[in-house]
Structure 1
Amino acid sequence: MTAEITSRMQASGIVQEGDPVLLEVARAFVFPAEVQEAARVVEALNAAADRVAALHDFAKGMGIAAPQIGIGRALAIVRPPAGEPLTLLSPVVVEGSSRAR
């Protein structure tokens, strides 16, 4: 990402590499006790995704996780280029890849 895009993302509320929240393990939600908190985080993520989408064209779709907006919770949204968006509540990685970024 160029410095200009990084700066614009940061100005839109996206935390950057080195921020402590990105180094922490995101906390899963406890349902049904935290359903209102989960809804609040989903709303915040969608607002952030709208701001970011206004700054950059994501032709292949986009995804954003709560830690990327400074919230240490295990929640993410995925907006594919076509079709319905996905909301991932307390996702768990079950398999990884050794493929380089």
Structure 2
Amino acid sequence: MRILFLISFMMLTSFTVNAQAQKAVIKTTITCDHCKECETCGQLFEKKLIRQKGVQMVALNEKEMTITVFFNAKKTDLPTIRTAISQLGYDADDVE
């Protein structure tokens, strides 16, 4: 009975965590053709942005020149994420 209760509790909490995550696709300008591997581009996005409060996952798409960010809207918002990207030296939609 305890195991059933524990499993039920874990399932309910995992659904609420997923419900809070929001996705944002941010247009940027990428000047090199190897950004995902480059320490100054792709790895920089992943290392620095993931440390932002509320950011859960970051994905860089070189071909479309976009950064997809999954974040918790209760802990951060889109303007804060755009500002963090611009502080790394990249455009973030209309924020430079």
Q: TM-score, normalised by structure 1?
A: 0.30
- Which of the pair is proportionally richer in strand? 2
Q: TM-score, normalised by structure 2?
A: 0.32
